[in-house]
DNA sequence: CCTGCCGCAAAGGTATGACTTATTCAAGAG
DNA sequence: CTCTTGAATAAGTCATACCTTTGCGGCAGG
């Protein structure tokens, strides 16, 4: 999953630092300086920088150096960028953006899933809905989270749209993040769990509209809760 | 915008070749071979490969080489990947995916824009709606396209959500692509143009629901037309 | 004092050779 | 037949040299 080797270590250090604003927009890094700071060769520095450049987080120009680009230009859909932002000072802004994205995408995905899901996927969703209900009653947050992530990822995958499917990991990161940072009630709300069952039912029985509506209620609720917790 | 230098040239060649399936999944490239084929040094090859690797299109392993990864793992939101796929054999699949994404995102963006757009952005939208109406009557497809792209990009930006905003270029690529490949009527449909005016009106007057509905009609229409043209 | 030309120097870009390390595969020992 | 071991291979890293672009300062001329 991760970028390997020494360039990976550089990236794991520079990426979060830039994402969090610790290295601010407009800052200039020199390759030679990075070589010294990390005790690596030019090759390694250049490869790491190239990757950051392909994410539009930095731009490297001759006679100037490597300048940190304005946040507005970054590839905000890049999984690494999302993770780095979720980990740092930008966490709440990133959660808000992703919240809106979920409100847009997940209901549409649920509707498509009701039409396109395979039998296995429908079975899987039914099973996950049951698991969610049980672990919610038991207040087993860790297991609940795992199944919740699987639930949403399965629907995104079942939509049959590759782009939706790829948001599965991102949604997973959101759910993990909000659980880790106490942005959720200690025990999942029974109403939310009921809605998950409704979504699963609707998808299993091929009711696209019902699936879309129930899912919309879920993600709108999540967004509202987020806004409430983070303040406005 | 583009990746510069020799690695950029490598990328511009390998990326489309992989995206189009010309270099199939599972194929193995050797660094040394690429050096020879393009007449460049290791440095250059490695940097290009690193970028493809960060897009999850290839993976490089010792003693094995550089293997092309299954399409299902690619960073399908990366602008380069999208462009490469739009340019090659995958064009229709990519257009379908993006069509669904638009149906999900643009109505939501329109609703948000009705609330968050600045005065300048509302003015801009009004002006663009007028331009669309005029150029549609004149059947000036090139100008129409330019304004259409600006229209959708402005709404996405006005939504206030950075992730939506970044889809502006992608939507632009879709609109350009379908015009270039005769996936559109020779003269824009008057009804579609009317809907654009409705969206602009609704956003200018802050009517989120109306904006969302009109926009949904637009993008659903575009998707339906696409499905009809590409066949099923 | 301002303007424009010119050349230097600083920084990234590319090339290359040597060396390191991980990993596959096959040969040989048990 | 299995397990171990070793050699071959390809990527990973380093150090160095040289090329190319470009910003800036100085100098000449207006």
**Could you please report the per-residue DSSP string of A54-83?**
HTTSEEEETTTEEEEPPGGGS-TT-HHHHH
Does any strand D atom come closer than 7 Å to the Cβ of B123? no
pLDDT digits (tens, 9 = 90+) for A134-155: 999 998 999 999 999 999 999 9
CA angle A155, A160, A165 (to 5 degrees): 55
Answer whether A167's CB lies under 8 Å from A156's CB.
yes
Residue of A65, A114, A69, A73 whose CA lies nearest to A214: A114
Digit-by-digit pLDDT tens for chain B (232 residues) are: 677 899 999 999 999 999 999 999 999 999 999 999 999 999 999 999 999 999 999 999 999 999 999 999 999 999 999 999 999 999 999 999 999 999 999 999 999 999 999 999 999 999 999 999 999 998 888 999 999 999 999 999 999 999 999 999 999 999 998 888 766 666 778 899 999 999 999 999 999 999 999 999 999 999 999 999 887 6
Give the whole-angstrom CA distance, residue A227 versus residue B86.
Answer: 37
* Burial bucket for residue A191 (CB in 10 Å: 0-12, 13-18, 19+): exposed
B112 touches chain A (CB under 8 A): yes
B14 touches chain A (CB under 8 A): no
Sheet holding B28-29, edge to edge: B28-29, B65-68, B58-61
Of the candidates A71, A72, A108, the beta carbon closest to that of B103 is on A108
Q: Which residue has the tokens 């979920």?
A: A102
pLDDT higher than 90, residue A230:
no
Q: What is the mean pLDDT of residues A78-87?
A: 96
Give the whole-angstrom CA distance, residue A41 versus residue A34.
Answer: 9
CA angle A103, A104, A109 (to 5 degrees): 100
* Burial bucket for residue B203 (CB in 10 Å: 0-12, 13-18, 19+): buried
Task: Tell me what pLDDT residue B4 has.
Answer: 82
B65 touches chain A (CB under 8 A): no
- Residue A33, min C-alpha distance to chain B (Å): 20
To test the contact with chain A by mutation, choose from B66, B100, B215 the residue with the greatest count of A C-beta atoms within 10 A, namely B100
Question: What is the full DSSP assignment across B88-112?
Answer: STTHHHHHHHHHHHHHHHHHHHHHH
How many CA atoms, within 13 angstroms, populate the side-chain half-sphere of residue B140? 12
Give the whole-angstrom CA distance, residue B186 versus residue B57.
Answer: 37
Question: What is the full DSSP assignment across B12-25?
Answer: HHHHHHHHTTSS-T
Answer whether B11's CB lies under 8 Å from B48's CB.
yes
Lookup: nucleotide whose C1' is closest to B39 CA = C15
- Residue B72, min C-alpha distance to chain A (Å): 7
Alpha helices in A72-140 (DSSP H): 79-87, 91-116, 119-137
Lookup: nucleotide whose C1' is closest to A4 CA = D12
Give the whole-angstrom CA distance, residue B142 versus residue B179.
Answer: 9
Lookup: nucleotide whose C1' is closest to A64 CA = C11
Q: Which long-range contacts (CB under 8 A, 24 or more apart) does A204-208 make?
A: A204/A122, A204/A125, A204/A126, A205/A114, A206/A114, A206/A115, A207/A114, A208/A110, A208/A111, A208/A112, A208/A114, A208/A115
How many CA atoms, within 13 angstroms, populate the side-chain half-sphere of residue B195? 20
Q: Which residues contact B113 (CB under 8 A, 6 or more apart)?
A: B121, B155, B158, B159, B160, B203, B211
Give the whole-angstrom CA distance, residue B7 versus residue B45.
Answer: 7
Task: Tell me what pLDDT residue A4 has.
Answer: 81
Residue of B182, B186, B152 whose CA lies nearest to B167: B152
Answer whether A144's CB lies under 8 Å from A188's CB.
yes
Name the pLDDT band for A232 (thresholds 50, 70, 90). low
* Burial bucket for residue A90 (CB in 10 Å: 0-12, 13-18, 19+): middle
CA angle B139, B210, A107 (to 5 degrees): 100
Classified as helix, coil or strand, A18 is helix
Report which residue is nearest nucleotide D9 when distances run from CA to C1'. Answer: B63
Task: Tell me what pLDDT residue B84 has.
Answer: 97
pLDDT higher than 90, residue A3:
no
How long is the CA B1 to C1' C15 vector, in angstroms?
A: 26
Give the whole-angstrom CA distance, residue B118 versus residue B124.
Answer: 10
Give the whole-angstrom CA distance, residue B51 versus residue B36.
Answer: 20
Task: Tell me what pLDDT residue B178 has.
Answer: 86
Classified as helix, coil or strand, B66 is strand
Of the candidates A104, A109, A162, the beta carbon closest to that of B108 is on A104
Q: Which residues of B touch A109 (CB under 8 A)?
A: 104
Task: Tell me what pLDDT residue A9 has.
Answer: 97
Query: CB distance A78–B75 less than 8 Å?
Result: yes
Does any strand D atom come closer than 7 Å to the Cβ of B31? yes
Lowest mean pLDDT among A99-103, A121-125, A183-187, B167-171: A183-187
Does any strand C atom come closer than 7 Å to the Cβ of A32? yes
Window 161-220 of A, Cβ < 8 Å to B: 161-166
Task: Tell me what pLDDT residue B123 has.
Answer: 97
Does any strand D atom come closer than 7 Å to the Cβ of B189? no
Give the whole-angstrom CA distance, residue B231 versus residue B214.
Answer: 26
């Amino acid at each position: 999953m991760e970028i390997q080797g020494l360039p990976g270590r550089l990236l794991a250090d520079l990426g979060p630092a830039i994402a969090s604003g610790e290295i601010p927009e407009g800052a200039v890094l020199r390759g030679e300086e990075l070589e010294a700071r990390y005790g690596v060769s030019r090759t390694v520095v250049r490869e790491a920088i190239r990757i950051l450049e392909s994410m539009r987080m930095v731009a490297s120009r001759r006679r100037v150096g490597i300048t940190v680009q304005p946040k507005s230009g970054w590839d905000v859909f890049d999984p690494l960028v999302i993770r780095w932002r979720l980990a740092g000072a930008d966490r709440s802004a990133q959660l808000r953006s992703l919240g809106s994205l979920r409100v847009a995408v997940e209901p549409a995905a649920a509707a498509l899933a009701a039409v396109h899901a395979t039998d296995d996927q429908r079975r899987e969703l039914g099973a996950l809905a049951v698991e969610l209900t049980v672990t919610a009653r038991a207040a087993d947050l860790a297991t609940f989270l795992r199944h919740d992530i699987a639930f949403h990822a399965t629907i995104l995958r079942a939509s049959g749209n590759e782009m939706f499917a790829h948001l599965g990991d991102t949604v997973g990161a959101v759910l993990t993040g909000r659980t880790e940072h106490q942005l959720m009630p200690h025990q999942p709300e029974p109403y939310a769990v009921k809605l998950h069952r409704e979504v699963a039912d609707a998808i299993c029985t091929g009711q696209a509209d019902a699936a879309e509506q129930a899912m919309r209620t879920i993600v709108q609720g999540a967004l509202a809760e987020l806004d409430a917790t983070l303040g406005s």
